[in-house]
Each structure stands twice: as structure tokens, then as C-alpha cells.
Amino acid sequence: MRIKEIPHERSLKMLNNIKLKDMKYWYLLIVILPLILLSCSKKDKHERSLNNTGLDIQKLREDVLYRGDFDAYTSLRIECFDYPPGELLPYAIIMENKYNDSSFCMDIYQSIEQIYYDVHSDYIDEQTAKMAIENLEKAAKKGIDGAISQLNSIPKNNKNLTYKEKFKYAMEN
């Protein structure tokens, strides 16, 4: 048998239930809100580039310069996408001199091309243009498709063209 509740007790009980429910929400809010705020503020303000290998750039440079380390060069090549045009050029020259590899020849050409890209090609000197074209020719002789394609954009009857003019034609490709 159930004991009848007094209406006043019933309303107090309901009021307590409501207060407990409200308190649960407040506790949840007090716990969850700071967690949300902390998680939002902990975002890395210096987001890492996709080209960042996570390796020490100075060590990579030294390994290429002093040891001719191929793996260090490969990592440095990736890192250099985030640097000004031509940053890879001295390292590509060193590696090409050491290994005589067509990929380094292409890197030399592309580094020079990046420096003089677009309207800046008017400012290239004859010696630098010669270095670029000679390395492009070496890369083409070794079968690099991109080099072959760029050389094909230079007119076939080019005996009277300067290296600077050849460079401009190659860049147009």
C-alpha cells in the first residue's frame, strides 16, 4: 500500500528533481566548456608546411656541401620548395659535379628558370643562360622527358641564337 503524498511534498520533490537536473547540466557545462576552450586554443599557430621534412635544414646543407650526401640532398630539395627561387642551385651544382647525374642537371636548369621566371628572363646574363642551357642539354641527353620537351621549344635552326635567347625559348614551354 502506498502512502499518499502531500501535495506540498510532491511539489518540493519535483522542485528538487528539477534542481538536481539543472545542477547536472551546470556541472557538465563547467567541466566541458573549459575543455572545449582549451582544445581550441591549443591549435598550433605555426602550422607545418607539407614540404617540411622535420630534419635540421642546416645539417642537410652541410651534409650536401661537405659529404655529397644524396639522401640529404633529396630532403633539402623538398625543403627548398618553401624557400626563395634558386635556393637549391648551389647544392645542385655541387651534386652534379660530384655524381654527374641528369637529375641534378635538371635541378640546376629549373633553379635558374625559377630565378628568372616570367618577366625577369630579360635580366639573365649570357653566362648564366649558357649554364642553364648546357645543363638542360645534359639532362635531355640522359633521357629526362621534361628537358627534351623544353629543348624542343628552341628553334631547330638556332646557330645564330645567343644562350640568352635559347633560354627564353626554353622557358616559354
pLDDT tens by residue, 112-157: 999 998 667 789 999 999 999 999 999 999 999 999 999 999 998 8
Which residues, other chains included, contact 153 with Cβ-Cβ below 8 Å and sequence gap of 6+?
169, 170, 172, 173
The pTM assigned to this predicted structure is 0.69
Residues 33-67 as b or e (16 or more Cβ within 10 Å = b): eeeeeeeeeeeeeeeeeeeeeeeeeeebbebbeee
**What is the H or E stretch that residue 28 is in?**
helix 7-41
Q: What is the predicted pLDDT for the residue at 159?
A: 86
Sign for the pseudo-dihedral over CA of 98, 103, 105, 110: negative
> Residue 32 and residue 111: Cα distance in Å, rounded?
52
